[in-house]
Amino acid sequence: MFHKEGFKIITNTFLIAVIIAVGAEYAIENYWIKKLLQLTAIILLVLVLQFFRNPKRVTTPNENHVIAPVDGKVVVIEEVFEKEYFKDKRLQVSIFMSPLNVHVTRYAISGNVVFSKYHPGKYLVAWHPKSSELNERTTVVVQNKTVGKMLYRQIAGAVARRIVNYAKVGDTVVQGTDAGFIKFGSRVDVFLPVGTKINVSVDQVVKGGIDKIAEI
């Protein structure tokens, strides 16, 4: 299964791959150059297909759990001052996505969307300390009775050039469902109340919609 955000890119890439493969077959006489071009076209198509894959994830909603919003590796767990919305100290958990990871963003908790804002910006590498403040990003706050308010931030990276965010203020959302997509993108930061029990560690690999990253 592929994410709907990739349908246009997948179709265009398929057409380009076919044109390259067929064109090389009839226009290139050198056997090895011909095969190299055809192999390159196939590799390009496979990379795009794997990037936009959207595996089915079955989430059992639990109001006491905060689940991973994306696939990737935990790169930051620290107490920070969140300056955009809360303007106080929060516990930040950051998950980095490589180009090989699934790039679907899922809601980490169920609740109501009380804030959603897009910020244009730069395209620093996702692990850069300033990427969460300077890069293109979206900030979303979801609120429920158990967790209170939880903020997550989709952050573009050096390769990413488009963030898709489905969260709108007033929406009632369900834990584990589709919240957006980062095209060729790279990192999600989650901000939780200080004192929240964290169930992951730095360098741990997590699956979005499945793994519990914190509990109340």
Coil, helix or strand for 104?
strand
Distances (CA, A) of 141 to 6, 66, 68, 107, 125: 26, 13, 15, 10, 24
The domain spans of the chain are: 4-51, 65-215
Residue 186 pLDDT class (50, 70, 90 cuts): confident
Contact 41, 14 (CB under 8 A): no
Phi-psi region of 198 (alpha: psi -120 to 50; beta: other; left: phi over 0): beta
Catalytic residue among 110, 131, 132, 186: 186
Radius of gyration of the chain (CA): 19
Q: In the CATH hierarchy, which fold is given to the domain comprising 65-215? A: Glucose Permease (Domain IIA) (2.70.70)
Which pLDDT score is estimated for 132? 61
Give the contacts of 39 (CB within 8 A, at least 6 positions apart). Answer: none
Which pLDDT score is estimated for 168? 97
Which pLDDT score is estimated for 160? 47
Which pLDDT score is estimated for 215? 94
Which pLDDT score is estimated for 182? 83
Question: Taking 90 as the threshold, does the pLDDT of residue 55 lie above it?
Answer: no
Give the whole-angstrom CA distance, residue 70 versus residue 172: 20
Give the contacts of 97 (CB within 8 A, at least 6 positions apart). Answer: 70, 71, 72, 103, 126, 182, 185, 186, 187, 188
Question: Taking 70 as the threshold, does the pLDDT of residue 159 lie above it?
Answer: no
Q: How many CA atoms lie within 13 A of 160 on its CB side?
A: 30
For residue range 84-131, list pLDDT tens digits in order. Answer: 999 999 999 999 988 788 889 999 999 999 999 999 876 565 555 555
186 catalytic? Reply is yes
Give the whole-angstrom CA distance, residue 166 versus residue 137: 13
